[in-house]
Structure 1
Amino acid sequence: MQARENTSSPAEEEPHGATRAERLSALAQQHGALVTLVLVVAVASFGFDTFLTGDNLENMAVSSAFLAVVALGMTFVIVTGGIDLSVGSLFALGGVLAAWGSQYGTPVALLLPLAVCGLIGLVNGLLIARARLAPFIVTLAAMLAARGILLSITDEGSTTYLVDEKSFFARLGQDKLLGVGVPVWITVALFVLGAIVLRRSRFGQYVYAVGGNEDAAALMGAPVARTKIAVYTLSGLCAGLAGALNAAWLVSGVTILGTGMELEAISAVVIGGTLLTGGFGFISGSLVGVLLLKVIQNVINQIGSLDSAYQQVVSGSFLAVVVIAQTWLGRRRRML
């Protein structure tokens, strides 16, 4: 019975006879970030005349798109109970590889970062799943290795590869469709696909099962090792793609990007309701978490008198509050 419960999706975890308190706890855990986002947007709309302007909203949407793609892959990893600290370096590496490859055409600009970053993600997954090494150590090593590769191909960061502004690859980052940047549409499509895979596919059920109870999942015949390898490979692919899209947007491969991005991605996923312990999470929640972080950063920039360091303080405070709330809600649901 325990193994059966751990292979269910979050929407199926609550029994039909759940008490009102249980349902409220589940709703708070799932939609708390969305309620907070709506409140912050409402306050910012009344407090700043420039907040709801088209230019400001567009800038927030496009800048959120790259972090959101990284957070998408991170969601799968965290739902399995893992962590990936390499995504920030893979994001920067993907951008540089895409900018360098753009001189050979759009296919190379897109496929090269996907191949390299996906391969690094695959190696992470193999070491974690087959060699049974700790995800924290493995992905930390990958973070340093990816940054080292980045520095070696850019002459210690002194070389910046540029993208031809007239190329089709640059248009992927700068063009608009129905008034919205192409990277935003790509991100929305990826999140829809990711939600379907996580909630409706057999692979998604395996992801929840591994995060809920790895031993029980193995007893039921779930491919635990292959699932772990797949989610880390997916995380690498998402980071590489996000870096490539960012390079197309900036028309250059900026070497200093991605520092601390892994922490932002983890924060967004956890703020969106995914448990760090695994077995419970939502793709839509991660998107809400990204938007909430970006809106808060934008509000701090709107204030003007506050230093950018306050963004880190507020983000860290939000994360601490969310983790405490998740722990309290989880204990309360078990007690009920």
Structure 2
Amino acid sequence: MSAFLKSFAPKSSGDLARIGVMIALAALILFGALRYDYFLSPFNILSFLRYNSMFALIALGMAFVIITGGIDLSVGAVAALASVVSALLSPYSWYAGLAGGICAGLAVGLINGVVITRLRIQPFIATLAAMLAANGTALLLANNQSVSVSYDSGFTVIGQDDFLGFPIPAWIALGAYILGWIFLERSRSGRHVLAIGDGEHTAALMGLKVQRTLLGVYAFSGLLAGLAGVILASQFGAGQPTEGVGWELFAIASVVVGGTLLTGGSGSVGATLAGALLLGMVFNVLNFENGLGWISLSAYWQSVIRGLFLLVVVVLQARLTARSAT
């Protein structure tokens, strides 16, 4: 009987963190439902899902990057660049805006992958350079101002409309996560991603296509950041060249909160989604709390809270990893 019960116990610090984020998310939802009158109202739920779909998408791409032991600091700037490209192309047709934003993100992701795999530049430096380049390019294309989208081409449907009573951006994010889960958990290539995170040199000795896999992972991250930028432009009616600041930190925090080690080798798509929803829910609760008048936190405090939250999670994760190793 004891052996049966032990089979359900967490087998690693990552498993414990994944269970923890699910419990924390459920507890926060329960707290909000009991404390605030309209917390579970259709308006708040749909608004929450519509807005946070962008962050969920970049968190998914970041999860795959971190699982390989890398990092992508460019996702926020890439999303801003993609939003500008989408806005500029939206007068031609909705699919031109959609394709343009996705291709812009994919192009930066591919460049990151080539620089990292072919030129052997560390991911931190490569993606930092890409972040600066994407940010500058977005400002140049937009002439340092917001770029209005076309409302006549149907482009705004992507970010503002619903399908079957569910926000279209949330459907997009859900589809991306389902595909990401199938890839990571049910495909040979997904196992290659995990193996590279365990040790790139060892994976190469095993005959795995390390460079090709890494190129695909960074391209995937760029593509999802581009898709997030499309939703940004469509949802707010304008390409935002100065938006995306700190998005990479939100993505990293979501992945780490979901139990993925920054050293790579393990990770969960579902727990990453839970981490993104948990961080979004924290700020949703703070907004409701501001409405009650008990506290009054400006938007700038969100960055402070986000940074402290990430620091606490990383410290706890390090403690759990050290304890499981002993």
Given candidates 189, 196, 205, the residue that maps to 2:182 is: 196
Task: Give identity over the alignment, percent.
Answer: 42
Q: Which residue in 2 is equivalent to 1:307?
A: 298
Q: Which residue in 2 is equivalent to 1:65?
A: 53
2:155 aligns to what SS in structure 1?
A: helix
Q: Contact 2:90–2:97 (CA<8 Å) still a contact in 1? A: yes
2:22 matched to 1:34?
Answer: yes
Q: Which amino acid aligns with 2:236?
A: L
**How many residues in Structure 1 have an aligned counterpart in Structure 2?**
318
When the two structures are superposed, what TM-score results if normalisation uses the length of structure 1?
A: 0.90
Distance (whole Å) between structure 2 residues aligned to residue 188 and residue 123 of structure 1: 27
Q: Which residue in 2 is equivalent to 1:186?
A: 172
2:156 aligns to what SS in structure 1?
A: helix
Distance (whole Å) between structure 2 residues aligned to residue 33 and residue 173 of structure 1: 28
Q: Contact 2:139–2:242 (CA<8 Å) still a contact in 1? A: no
Instruction: Indicate the larger mover: 280-289 or 115-124.
Output: 115-124
Distance (whole Å) between structure 2 residues aligned to residue 61 and residue 20 of structure 1: 31
Q: Which residue in 1 is equivalent to 2:235?
A: 249
Q: CA RMSD in A?
A: 1.9
Q: Which amino acid aligns with 1:309?
A: Y
Q: Deviations over 1:299-318 (max 9, x none)?
A: 11112122323322332232
2:252 matched to 1:261?
Answer: no
Instruction: Indicate the larger mover: 255-264 or 315-324.
Output: 315-324
2:319 aligns to what SS in structure 1?
A: helix
Q: Which amino acid aligns with 1:149?
A: T
| Structure-to-structure mapping, 1:205-216, within 5 angstroms | 205-216=191-202
Q: Which amino acid aligns with 1:235?
A: S
> Is the alpha carbon distance of 1:26 and 1:237 closer, same or farther for their aligned partners in structure 2, counting shifts above 3 Å?
closer
Following superposition, the deviation at residue 122 of structure 1 comes to 0.8
Q: Deviations over 1:30-80 (max 9, x none)?
A: 221111111111112212112111111111111110111111111110000
Q: Which residue in 1 is equivalent to 2:86?
A: 98
Q: Which residue in 1 is equivalent to 2:140?
A: 152
Unaligned residue ranges in structure 1 (runs of 5+): 1-15
Distance (whole Å) between structure 2 residues aligned to residue 269 and residue 19 of structure 1: 25
Given candidates 52, 74, 77, the residue that maps to 2:65 is: 77
Following superposition, the deviation at residue 114 of structure 1 comes to 1.9
Given candidates 291, 299, 321, the residue that maps to 1:330 is: 321
Q: Which residue in 1 is equivalent to 2:157?
A: 171
